[in-house]
Amino acid sequence: MTVIECPEVVAPLEARTPLDGWLREQQELTAVDRFVQRHQVEKVPAHEHHYRDLLPATSPGPGQQYRFEVDLDQCSGCKACVTACHSLNGLDDSEAFRSVGVLIAASGAESVRQHVTTACHHCVDPACLSGCPVDAYTKDPLTGIVEHLDDQCIGCSYCELTCPYEVPTLNRRLGVVRKCDMCSDRLANGEAPACVQACPTGAIAIGLIDVSGARGAVHSGAGQLLPGAPPSDITKPTTIYRSRSGLPLTAMALDADDLHPCRSHPPLAVMLVLTQLSVGGYLAALATAPLEGSPGPVLARGSAVGAALLGVMAMAASLLHLGRPLMAWRAFLGLRHSWLSREIAAFSAYGGLAVAGAAVVSGAISVPASVAESVVVAGAMAGIVGVVCSAFVYSVTHRPLWRLSRILPEFVLTATAGGALLTSALLIGSSTPRGAEHAVDWLLWAVLFAGVTIVGLDIWFLLRRHVDEHAARSVRLLLGPLRRQTGARLVLVIAGSVAAPAVLLTFDGARSTMAAAIALVILLAGQMIGRLQFFTASVGPGMPGIPR
């Protein structure tokens, strides 16, 4: 929807002399002077009287909801709205529900510097709500306000990634995410929200918007809330920014070129690497079993057992990411709409089935062959679904670095290389039956193919010309502040998944469990760095001034 309104500008009358102009300018009060004078004269009137023109005359009717309306021409960047919001809501020092940023641009011979106040946009289709695995968000059917339920939250921070405007923030002290609720309790009593009431220039107001009209405007080709902001068709935000003079389409956030790595999320990085290694090892064991004549020898010698243990370790590591890990059981509540819930469900099923499959195939539990085969196959399918869900968890955030076409092949290749190395190490070091050497050859060729592809895709991404400015920023991060990690990752991946399998394939005498295990450790170290960069370099679009 069109959110920058640019009515005709009426030019002021020219002063007859410079002195006349200066005298007229001195007679005009500043916004702060007018605010102070009005309060002194009116003896600080009741809030509903003083701010009645900043609130809608009626409550939202059917098909309507509240929205923020911002007059950019009146925003002076004083941050009174930020202070009032912080004070009224009792936020911690590191928290802010509202922020003030700056847009800059060159317009002809002049430069433009525009302050922008921003908070939650209470979207028509909020991504925080659809992505939350525990249903900790609600959208009020009467007011349209998107509220967060602190008691329901487990602190997974997934809404921080799914919201294209980076509105929700994790309170580390409380272990939950919190966000702006438009001071819904005040609105319910006819009072203005803190930011509206505190603004000395009246730049922020509350208005009404027709929801169906908002959807139609977006579908008809609406662009962005502001230049540089995310496309409005992702969540259909309701905030409107007005300016009589308009903003150049080339305007950009003042901090757009600041190259600061994002949060690294180490527990999630560990979880991604271990789940992919686990699933890859489990599938590699199944794939090579026919080459030995039966699935028993390979799986019983540890591949399935090791894969199952890695899967359990991965899920345990992910709990360290939560602000409230004891509430992790709630993560299944969002199965209908949240990819994170689906990922957790898939890997939970995989972990249980992999452990059961390892026990069955190794002989710890005696069951009919048909049951054993069903358990093993079901575990493999659950693992594949889990890896695919992992890719969708991040691709739905609309960050250029996390496009599905890039991360799904990367996840699959990591599983292939790691799983094949794990299974080949077990086969090389055991007394294998006839055909095992042939199986090892196939596994090492799989590692070599996956390793070359991983390195090729990484180099192609780093060197190609990116049209998307946010993808280009990710590349600048990887080749700038993160260049040492980028170089180390490429060296380790090449050593573990290209050089090592090439040597093992060329020289039979070099084959040993120790050599394959060292190659696996080197590969995993490189991929661990890569998964950390997966988060630290994930630059996404956002509102100006939002801390990144």
For the chain, what is the total number of helices (H) and then of strands (E)? 20, 11
Question: Which of the pair, 43 or 180, is modelled with greater confidence?
Answer: 180
Mean pLDDT of the chain: 84
Say if residue 243 is in the same domain as residue 271. Answer: no
pLDDT at 482 over 90: yes
- Tens digits of per-residue pLDDT, 65-100? 999 999 998 998 899 999 999 999 999 988 899 999
Q: Exposure string (b/e) for 27-47, b if CB count within 10 Å is 16 or more?
A: eeeebeeebeeeeeeeeeeee
Q: In terms of DSSP bridges, do strands 240-242 and 64-71 run parallel, antiparallel, or are they unpaired? A: parallel
The CATH number covering residue 216 comes to: 3.30.70.20
Q: For residue 291, what pLDDT is reported? A: 55
pLDDT at residue 37, as a whole number: 65
pTM here? 0.84
> Do 241 and 380 share a structural domain?
no
Higher pLDDT, 351 or 12: 351
430 confidence band (pLDDT: 50, 70, 90): low
Asked whether residue 232 falls in the same domain as residue 313, the answer is: no
Which pLDDT score is estimated for 218? 55
CB distance 344 to 154 below 8 Å: no
Say if residue 433's pLDDT is above 60: no
Give the pLDDT score at 243. Answer: 87
User: Of 202, 224, 253, which residue is a domain's last?
Assistant: 253
Res 80: pLDDT: 92
Residue 220, pLDDT above cutoff 50: no
Distances (CA, A) of 179 to 122, 209, 237, 250, 264: 11, 21, 15, 30, 22
Q: Are residues 386 and 245 in the same domain?
A: no
Give residue 154's pLDDT band: very low, low, confident or very high (50, 70, 90): very high
> Where is the domain boundary, 206, 231, 253?
253
CA–CA distance, 317 with 266 (Å, rounded to integer)? 9
pLDDT value at position 294?
47
Collapse the DSSP code of 106 into the 3-class scheme (helix H, G, I; strand E, B; otherwise coil) and give the result.
strand
| pLDDT at res. 404 | 94
Given a cut of 60, whether residue 279 has pLDDT beyond it is yes
Same domain, 138 and 168: yes
Task: Tell me how far apart the alpha carbons of residues 297 and 432 are, in angstroms, rounded to a whole number.
Answer: 8
Per-residue pLDDT at 11: 44
Indicate if the alpha-carbon torsion angle 323, 324, 330, 333 is positive or negative.
negative
In angstroms, the CA 444 to CA 93 distance is 53
β-bridge pairing 176-178 and 169-171:
antiparallel
Confirm whether 501 is domain-assigned.
yes
Residue 70 is inside which H or E element, if any?
A: strand 64-71
Query: Is residue 270 located within the same domain as residue 248?
Result: no
The per-residue pLDDT for range 30-57, each reduced to its tens digit, is 666 766 666 665 554 444 555 667 888 7
Both 234 and 362 in one domain: the answer is no
| Choice between 248 and 72, residue whose per-residue pLDDT is larger | 72
Place of tokens 């641009």: 105
Domain-ending residue, one of 230, 253, 276: 253
Do 236 and 134 lie in one domain? The reply is yes
**Residues 69 and 163 both lie in one domain:** yes
- pLDDT value at residue 221: 43
Is residue 105 scored above 90 in pLDDT?
Answer: no
Give the rounded distance of the alpha carbon of 71 from its chain centre.
30
- With tokens 């028509």, the residue in question is 124
Strands 146-148 and 137-139: antiparallel
Mean pLDDT, range 261-289, rounded to an integer: 89
What is d(CA 103, CA 99) in angstroms, rounded to the nearest whole number? 13
CA–CA gap between residue 122 and residue 168 (Å, rounded): 12
For residue 297, the surrounding DSSP H or E stretch is helix 295-298
Does residue 22 lie in a domain region? Answer: no
Q: pLDDT for 463-480, tens place per residue?
A: 987 777 778 889 999 999
Nearest CA-CA partner of 473 in 258, 161, 263: 258
CATH number at residue 423: 1.20.1630.10
Say how many C-beta atoms besides its own lie within 10 A of residue 304's C-beta. Answer: 29
Is pLDDT larger for residue 299 or for residue 376? 376
148 and 275 together in one domain: no
How many domains is the chain partitioned into structurally?
2
- CA of 343: how far to CAs of 79, 281, 335, 349, 358, in Å? 41, 19, 9, 10, 22
Phi and psi angles of residue 221, each rounded to the nearest 5 degrees, phi first: 110, 25
Q: Is the pLDDT of residue 381 over 90?
A: yes
Query: Which of left, alpha, beta for 204 (phi over 0: left; psi -120 to 50: alpha)?
Result: beta
Percent with pLDDT over 90 in the chain: 49
Decide if 302 is inside a domain: yes
- Residue 359 belongs to some domain of the structure: yes
Distances (CA, A) of 332 to 275, 341, 509: 19, 5, 50
Q: Is residue 546 part of a domain?
A: no
Record the tokens describing residue 281, joined without a space: 């090892």
Say if CB 455 and CB 491 are below 8 A apart: no
Helix spans in 325-435 (H): 339-361, 369-395, 404-428
Domain carrying residue 108: 4-11+30-253
The answer to whether residue 548 is domain-embedded is: no
436 or 142, higher pLDDT = 142
Phi, psi of 359 (to 5 degrees): -65, -40
- Report the alpha-carbon distance of residue 237 to residue 242 in Å, rounded: 15
Q: Considering the domain boundaries, does residue 16 fall inside one?
A: no
**pLDDT tens, residue by residue, 508-524:** 777 888 888 899 999 99
Per the model's pLDDT, the better-predicted residue between 107 and 145 turns out to be 145
Domain for residue 119, yes or no? Answer: yes
Taking every pair of Cα atoms in the chain, the longest distance, rounded to a whole number of angstroms, is: 103
Q: Is 70 exceeded by the pLDDT of residue 158?
A: yes
- Separation of alpha carbons 304 and 357, rounded Å: 7
Please tell me whether residues 244 and 285 are part of one structural domain: no
Check if the beta carbon of residue 298 is closer than 8 Å to that of residue 426. Answer: yes
Q: Cβ distance 143 to 184 under 8 Å?
A: yes
- Output the pLDDT for position 510: 76
Express as a percent the part of the chain with pLDDT over 70: 83
Could you tell me which residues are beta bridge partners of residue 231? 224
- Torsion sign across C-alpha atoms 105, 109, 115, 121: negative
Taking residue 213's Cβ as centre, other Cβ atoms within 10 Å add up to: 12
The 8-class DSSP code of residue 497 comes to I
Residues 394 and 416 in one domain: yes
